[in-house]
């Protein structure tokens, strides 16, 4: 199924052109754009508070479930605590899966006839601790907050099946920052 969509940009016109509209072709069947160009996509997940919105938490890990991997895909994970307007870098990585028999074994490629490979998957990808950057406004590390929102960006073909964000409870001492 393909859909042609007329989409105005954020301000109702294309950059540098007032009143113009972009024409986009949206397809569920195509893995790449214009032949072999990888597509950049992202998702901003909801802010996680683990059902305890008034308790301070520290983010310790993130797990991802991916499928429909095809070819080379680059990932960037970012996060922000407590509605911070800035995204903080968490982790970058790459997954590469063979698209055909030529790419499967680089030392002994079978390129004729090139046999297309199917899509691949990864379950469970465990990502490391996010870096603790000092938040100058809240005066605490950015990996500590009442709610944490992750954002995943990827360049390539993949489907995100699931995400699980791990946290530990933190104690925020009462009257800790009061100055007499």
| Residue 180 token pair | 């007499």
What confidence score (pLDDT) does residue 94 get?
94
Regions in the chain scoring below 70 on pLDDT: 1-28, 30-31, 34-35, 106, 172-180
What confidence score (pLDDT) does residue 121 get?
83
What confidence score (pLDDT) does residue 24 get?
62
What confidence score (pLDDT) does residue 146 get?
93
Q: What domains sit in the chain, N to C, each tagged with a CATH number? A: 1-30 (no CATH), 36-169 (2.60.40)
The neighbouring-strand residues paired with 78 are 89, 151
| Residue 142 token pair | 């950015």
CA distance 145 to 168: 11
Q: Which residues contact 107 (CB under 8 A, 6 or more apart)?
A: none
């Amino acid at each position: 199924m393909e859909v042609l969509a007329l989409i105005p940009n954020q301000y109702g016109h294309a950059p540098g052109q007032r009143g113009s509209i972009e024409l986009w072709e949206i397809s569920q069947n195509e893995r790449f754009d214009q032949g072999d160009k990888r597509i950049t996509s992202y998702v901003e997940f909801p802010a996680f508070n683990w059902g305890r919105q008034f308790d301070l938490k520290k983010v310790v890990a993130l797990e991802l479930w991916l499928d429909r991997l095809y070819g080379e895909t680059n990932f960037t994970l970012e996060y922000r605590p407590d509605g911070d307007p800035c995204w903080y870098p968490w982790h970058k990585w790459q997954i590469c899966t063979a698209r055909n028999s030529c790419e499967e074994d680089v030392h002994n490629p079978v390129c004729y006839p090139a046999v297309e490979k199917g899509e691949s998957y990864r379950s469970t990808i465990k990502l490391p601790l996010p870096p603790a950057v000092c938040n100058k406004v809240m005066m605490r590390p950015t990996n500590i907050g009442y709610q944490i929102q992750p954002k995943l960006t990827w360049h390539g073909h993949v489907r995100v099946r699931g995400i699980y964000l791990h946290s530990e409870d933190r104690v925020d001492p009462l009257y800790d920052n009061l100055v007499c």
